[in-house]
Structure 1
């Protein structure tokens, strides 16, 4: 007997095991139609019957009273909830639910229960193979139905409406009943199957992270079940075998972990999906907009080239406001088709029968399949595949095909390169001048076309060239192409007669060059290159091989949690799209939102602090390139510091093309028409992040050449700046740092003051102390020749180092008697916030600053944080380091000061930044609160996937949180500590994680780890000393070291 790869199957009841779904549907209809008829008589409301669609959408699969509420809400009927004991006569939610139950029981008593033979056959097979069986149903009649059907002997656990009420379980689409059933069976969800016929049921299976969710489309609702989470969809269980199920667990589930899939077209979510379906290679990225769409309410095509910026001014009120934006480069995607002389196909103006989109993280291929029907009932299958080459930074390709399914016609294609658009990816920027491109040259000949545009201020030329090949049933056709053009856009046309069932395709190979990265004459480079590009398949193979080399380094393999596995790979993929090994030669750092959108205008922030560690351990040359981006702008940082009366280098909060401060210093209040100060640029801690990044890069890579030539100069110039920010306070007998903002961002100034900035931000002061200590260590390690050269270049003297050593132990902090470190001097005097009031009123309170502002209040007055501030110190430095720094400063705190501070600040944090949960997850783990750590981590991990901030993903992914979640998996859960001279491993995997496998490079040694609940296995490419918990071991090259704990 073949051993099954799964351990349990959990069945829904109605519509899966028994045919009572029809009975339920009839009972619901009888009850609601009677009730709605009564409302017509009493209230004069127009009677609209309860339909099958109403049943499937609002009540199917849900607990009875939730179903009543859901349907009534759809009809704008508001009734009191009542109690489950309400009589049938009462006009309450529970009263109506009880009427429905009465109707159901009457039918059940009169007609009995009919079962589905294929389900019974599967139950018998599962029982024979010793597979655990459970039933999870919202029905309170579950036991009675199973008894009437004679099936109770199959069922080992039953979690139904009665059990749910007793245990307080949430109904579908929450996964509570299925997870409870799995727990009762003693089986991990990852090894269990859910079989459901309702949309809310498959959603529950997906939300429970089950190993397989089977959708049973009794109502011909295949697409609805698939788009809501079903991995397999069948009309009846006779269509699926145990071999099929085992094949899913052997291969299908693995393939699913490498893909992002969408099986519906939802205009409201489309822009967020476009961001998550982005393809790219670090040189440029292209959003996953469909080829036939243009910038409109539901769609936004975008191509972004690393460091492609343009600066424009806009008249606002009585001022000219200047902004530098991340330019949306010419759109190379457009391909459209039409049937005979009809209009060009538009997915927003047609009936979509089926749609599926799959992004393959493993090779960067985005595939879309459509079946559409037009007004004349002509059915057409459309398929497109596209990728941006990871092998060659300038190349991309689309393969697009059309198949008439029930007609014969002339199919015409239109392909274009389009540079006529504005930047319109962020709604709040639309009122600004966003016309960044101007046409220079466009044209074409035969199957070649080209376009050259130029940015209006920065003068960067962007060139695109395309080569087309027409195919019939996959075989190239020799035809005449037509080319037309207007200013900033070029079109290429092709037409061909095809028969029903034939496939007409077009391959579009594209080369993209930009003058700021590739030198003069990018148009010539693009045209010459595209001529050499052979075919879609040839280019894809080379790109896939390049991706394989990347994944060999960066893949994190996880068992036990299929969603986490998928999202770890999705986050890795999007980081590689944003900055890859190609970026070694590019003068750019990673924008906060990747190459995926225009939010934050593509500027560089402190997010590098979360991002660079990933590159340090996998692609140190790319990490160094990001640090070189900062070095090349060191002179601007010096100018910025001097402008404000400081020494050294003060890096800007927002950096773009040349390193000047891009943050606005004033903003217009649209209600008053008055200009007010914007203090965001006071987040001077960005310079501390850069210093930290430099030190971490040196520590992990051992790259002293970089440090001596570039890094030390930046590091010491940042130290000079902070020294000039430190002022001696005669009252406290300590140094203070004033006019800064911490990472929190909600607090910009003191209450009722006209000046921005805060005094003695704890994160800032502790990190300054850490930095001054490392500066002393750095200078001592430099050779005398290098040190003297560096001192001459920066003007630093040995006396300055000694001054820094004095300051580092005398910086001011405010700490209360409970060991809570004040976020800044004056924080404890702020008012407490009534969190329950705002949660009950708004639900989503991430942006408490905006909610308070809408009420005429200010976050400056309250103890409320957007994200970790004081606690951010413990993300950078471990508890022992922080304790040592505080002790050196003369502060003695309780042993559990981290736990106290975490509890205190977590209660006062709204998590308005996706980065917030990353930091708090790590700290919760550090104090042993593993459940909280896992919960916060799951929220961070799904933040873009679920777009938890209500649409911000549409403007670009959050690169910092993506990198942060990867590093939490390695540093926190796998317990890889790189902060010492030797790598240390102290694993504590989340409950559902069974095994984690990954690679990293530390101090020139390549480590391969496999970590489970009780075993650490490590192999290195050269001998290395390693700490596992507190035991020291030495590895042997190529041999596996195993430690059981």
Structure 2
């Protein structure tokens, strides 16, 4: 393999789900898993097509109670194309002899190629070669070219291409006890050489229209009985001569702008699109433009994986996303894990997008702003002011976190308290600030951004309670990023007090919001104050809380939460000997009748997340503001403490640890960086990648190169750089878009930093290194030797 392709050799049923996720194709509007078109959904294969933001809500009976869940809907499958010799069975890799099989994902062109050689007996074989694309230029179009070549015989081949309206959401085994029948009113028909299918979601009432046409050198017939409209042709095969059929589809939903009816739009579009060759040329052009804006040059195996990660980020969040009302789905548009919900993953995704596709970042933040009212309603319902954003968000911004979750180790349904992760609000505020600093979008900061910051700050100001004994403010009853700990041992109520990550980020939100409000133009500030009822007393309270939130410590280490130091130590070596992989330690302990709440054991980075979000200087400033004595030695001890007490049950964990260690102890950083790179491609979580990629971890690895290793910050109107040399990544380069400058090129190599600013009418870029500042005008390049 090269960094231009991702390839699998041989057919391995046990790996199909993983390959289907990693070979999925998308364009930001919709994506389709890399399943083989001749195979239906079963225990091996799972074709799935998902439109961004297309959700439906159903209620299921679980453990004697009704449980409501909203899911990203698996839409009708456009892939089916099967084939057989006359009178014989349909050929699939599971039922026929496979002589050779290869699947190749062409990253540069966004095209999936497969080549399978089926053995037919008596020296005969059928070679099937397919090229598939989900069009990056026209977000409503996909196409499949199939080339058949007979070896050792002449004859005919029956080919059937269909649209399948019988699909359900069944891609995650632990959800299968829940209702997955999201589609209803499936109707099919034919018109002008195409077949079509229309349906709607059962409760959200999103109408879906899909149309397909089949092009071949032989006559095509149509059958439209039932929910699976099909086109059929019989090909004439001659030994050694390829014969081709092309299938082209169009997909629309009633959420689309500028259409009157999704079915009419789909039929009209599929009738107008050009042939496969022209479609492919236009598709490659669109991808070329994306790659230019996101150019990344990292040598070797890390570079190859990073390019795959970038490919999947761009397929999920492309420039088409800028026109949609969608958030960042934690598992991409690649599968049904987490039900397609939006968590806090934009915290790891937007820092990368900000410097390449700021229009996409803005759209993702507008998704949050449109749901600000819902977040304020949620806060009022629990007696709080301001905005309480949900831990899991979907269509309308209400809390989508399930009340119960299944432990597959024990088979028991358990209470789910992860909705207490109110730190998601701080993540949204952080993303607003980072986006505006990188893009220079003062208009957004002064309008929608300021509104979100104000209401999130208001929530934290109201949530903080003053403790007379401590002489500090406290935030109680929350869950931190760790997720393992959701209650104190033996407690009747869930929640923890003074989670350090939550408190420190809340203090940052309060301080930053005060700064933003102070800098607003007077007329805008007056409008915001009038609309929100903000008064001077509230601002004084925010100032006080931002300086007095409690940060607990124990044994010279920053505590994850108050009382953490009183928990028992876990026999880590014993559990590793007993179970091997203990990433999901919570499930292991629960199945034993124990609980992880009793132990100093974390699923993923919690306190150390602070070292991911903030540079050492900024983090030190936050602790000083809070009056907490955290020097370099204390932070180093804290890093050591949690390194040995974290099971890395999240793909984000290795990324954060690698980021922190790159600045604390470089020799150890690469091990965690490798885990972050391998998380999905090697399926380190044990079967989870087949249910959808981990988008935050993929984008985070890109940002590790872009910001983590370079120490890049966008603040105070300058690019700040403090590079960290890692021997394993001694030379790399990338482009970025910064405050109106397109294609600013950076390259680091062996103690040397090169920056090239393209010609434009924009202002000079101020570049600040630890020991100097440099101003570069458009058209200039800087070659800087790094100290240390």
- The alignment status of 1:1005 with 2:751, answered yes or no, reads no
CA contact 1:415–1:492 (8 Å) conserved in 2: yes
Q: Does structure 2 retain, via aligned residues, the 8 Å contact 1:446–1:483?
A: no
Structure 1 Cα separation of the partners of residues 495 and 205 of structure 2: 37
Q: Which of 491, 497, 501 is the aligned partner of 2:240?
A: 501
Q: Which residue of the partner structure matches residue 729 of structure 2? A: 993
Give 2:397's match in structure 1, choosing from 659, 669, 678.
659
Whether contact under 8 Å (2:584, 2:649) holds in the other structure is yes
Q: Is the 8 A contact 2:252 2:266 kept in 1?
A: yes
Q: How does 1:23-34 map to 2 (within 5 A)?
A: none
Q: Which runs of 5+ in 2 are unaligned?
A: none
Within the candidate set 228, 252, 257, 2:3 is matched to 257
Aligned to 2:634: 897
SS at match of 2:619: helix
TM-score after normalising by structure 1: 0.73
Seen in structure 2, the aligned counterparts of structure 1 residues 289 and 889 have a Cα distance that, compared at 3 Å, is: same
- Within the alignment, does 1:276 sit opposite 2:59 as a pair? no
**Secondary structure of residue in 1 paired with 2:130:** strand
Q: In 1, are the aligned partners of 2:407 and 2:587 still within 8 Å (CA)?
A: no
TM-score where L is the length of structure 2: 0.97
Equivalent residues of 2:765, 2:777 under 8 A apart: yes
The alignment status of 1:490 with 2:229, answered yes or no, reads yes
> Matches of 1:985 and 1:810 in 2, distance apart?
31
Counterpart secondary structure, 2:435: helix
Aligned ranges for residues 8-27 of structure 1 at < 5 Å?
none
Q: Please, which moves more after superposition, 993-1002 or 492-501?
A: 993-1002
CA drift of 1:1014 comes to 2.4
1:530 maps to 270
CA distance in 2, matches of 1:446, 1:797: 65
The answer to whether the aligner puts 1:647 opposite 2:393 as a matched pair is: no
* Closer, same or farther: CA 668–897 of 1 in aligned 2, 3 Å: closer
Secondary structure, in 3 states, of the residue corresponding to 1:500? coil
Contact 1:446/1:482 (8 A) holds in 2: no
Aligned to 2:507: 769
- Aligned match of 2:554 in 816, 824, 829? 816
Question: For the residues of structure 2 that align with 1:380 and 1:1038, how far apart are their CA atoms?
Answer: 57
1:974 paired to 2:710: yes
How many Å apart are 1:358 and its aligned residue?
Answer: 0.8
Q: Distance in 2 between matches of 1:496 and 1:669?
A: 51
Q: Which moved more, 1:256-265 or 1:431-440?
A: 431-440
Change (3 A) 1:416 1:439: farther
Q: Compare CA radii of gyration and give the structure with the larger one.
A: 1
SS of the equivalent of 1:943 reads helix
Q: Which residue is 1:1034 aligned to?
A: 775
Query: 8 Å contact 2:663–2:724 — kept in the other structure?
Result: no
8 Å contact kept, 1:1020–1:1037 = yes
Q: Take 2:339 and 2:32, find their aligned partners in 1: how far apart are those partners?
A: 16
Shift of 1:1029: 4.0
CA distance in 2, matches of 1:583, 1:894: 43
Report the 3-state secondary structure (helix = DSSP H, G, I; strand = E; otherwise coil) of the residue aligned with 1:978: strand
What residue number does 1:840 align with? Answer: 577
Q: Is the 8 Å Cα contact of residues 988 and 1013 (structure 1) preserved in structure 2?
A: no
| Cα drift, residue 281 of structure 1 | 0.3
Offset at residue 692 of structure 1 (A): 0.7
The CA distance in 2 between the partners of 1:980 and 1:586, in whole Å, is 31
Q: Which moved more, 1:567-576 or 1:724-733?
A: 724-733
1:517 counterpart = 2:263:
no
Shift of 1:635: 1.2
| Structure 1 residue 570 corresponds to structure 2 residue 316 | no
Count the aligned residue pairs.
780
**C-alpha deviation, 1:705, in angstroms:** 1.2
**SS of residue paired to 2:355:** helix
Cα 1:376/1:331, change in 2 over 3 Å? farther
Normalized per residue, the structure richer in helix is 1
Shift of 1:509: 1.2
Superposed displacement of residue 272, structure 1: 0.7
TM superposition shift of 1:682: 0.4
- Seen in structure 2, the aligned counterparts of structure 1 residues 565 and 620 have a Cα distance that, compared at 3 Å, is same
1:666-705 alignment runs, 5 A limit? 666=404, 677-705=415-443
Q: Can you list the C-alpha shifts for 1:908-933, whole angstroms capped at 9, x where unaligned?
A: 10000000011111110111x21211
Q: Structure 1: how far apart are the matches of 2:410 and 2:129?
A: 52
Measure how far apart 1:304 and its partner are.
0.5
Partners of 2:148 and 2:413 in 1: CA distance: 55
1:285 and 2:8 matched: no
What is the rounded CA distance, in whole Å, between the counterparts of 1:307 and 1:666 in structure 2? 24
CA contact (8 A) 2:547 2:626 kept: yes
Instruction: Tell me which of 465, 476, 491 is aligned to 1:727.
Output: 465
Distance verdict in 2 for CA 1:669–1:618, change over 3 Å: closer
For residues 604 and 93 of structure 2, the distance between their equivalents in structure 1, rounded to whole angstroms, comes to 40
1: CA distance, partners of 2:544 / 2:458? 14
CA distance in 1, matches of 2:251, 2:301: 35
Tell me which moved more, 840-849 or 281-290: 840-849
Q: What is the deviation of 1:1019? A: 0.6
Pairing 1:843-854 to 2, within 5 Å after superposition = 843-854=580-591
Q: How is 1:572-971 mapped onto 2 (pairs within 5 angstroms)?
A: 572-666=310-404, 677-818=415-556, 820-927=557-664, 929-971=665-707
Question: How far is 1:516 from its partner?
Answer: 1.6
CA shift for structure 1 position 383: 0.3
- What is the root-mean-square deviation of aligned Cα atoms in Å? 1.7
Look up the SS of the partner of 2:632 in the other structure. Answer: coil
1:804 and 1:604 map into 2 onto residues whose CA distance is: 29
Structure 2 SS opposite 1:347: coil
Q: Distance in 1 between matches of 2:441 and 2:520?
A: 13
Partner of 1:401 in structure 2? 147
Please say if residues 447 and 492 of structure 1, whose CA atoms lie closer than 8 Å, have aligned partners that are also in contact. no
- Partners of 2:260 and 2:376 lie apart in 1 by 30
- The reply to whether residue 543 of structure 1 matches residue 269 of structure 2 is no
CA shift for structure 1 position 259: 0.8
Deviations 1:373-405 (A, max 9, x none): 034542111100001111111011110011110
Q: Report the equivalent of 1:343.
A: 89
Tell me if the contact between 2:410 and 2:591 (Cα under 8 Å) persists in the aligned partners: no
Measured in 1, the distance between the counterparts of 2:412 and 2:571 equals 31
Measured after TM superposition, the shift of residue 301 of structure 1 is: 0.1
Uncovered stretches (5+) of structure 1, i.e. residues with no partner = 1-230, 232-255, 471-476
Q: Tell me how far 1:721 sits from its aligned partner.
A: 1.1
Quote the offset at 1:341 in angstroms.
2.1
Which SS does the other structure have where 1:273 is aligned?
helix
1:68-103 deviations in Å (ceiling 9; x for gaps)? xxxxxxxxxxxxxxxxxxxxxxxxxxxxxxxxxxxx
Does residue 307 in structure 1 map to residue 56 in structure 2? no
Quick check: 1:775–1:801 contact (8 Å CA) kept in 2? no
Separation of aligned partners in 1, 2:158 and 2:669: 56
* Counterpart pick for 1:450 among 167, 184, 196: 196
Match of 1:1020 among 743, 757, 764: 757
**Residue pair 2:143, 2:246 contacting (<8 A) in 1 also:** yes
Task: Please report how far the alpha carbon of residue 842 of structure 1 lies from its aligned counterpart in structure 2 after TM superposition.
Answer: 1.4
Q: Which has the higher contact order (CA 8 A, sep 6+)?
A: 2
Task: For residue 372 of structure 1, give the secondary structure of its aligned residue in structure 2.
Answer: strand
- SS across alignment from 1:265: coil
Residue 980 of structure 1 and its aligned partner are, at CA, apart by 5.1
Partner of 1:984: 720
CA distance in structure 1 between the aligned counterparts of 2:328 and 2:522, rounded to whole angstroms = 35
Distance 2:429 2:267 in 1: 43
Shift of 1:986: 2.6
CA distance in 2, matches of 1:349, 1:669: 34
Give the deviation of 1:445 after TM superposition. Answer: 4.2
Return closer, same or farther for 1:497/1:446 CA change in 2, 3 Å cut-off: farther
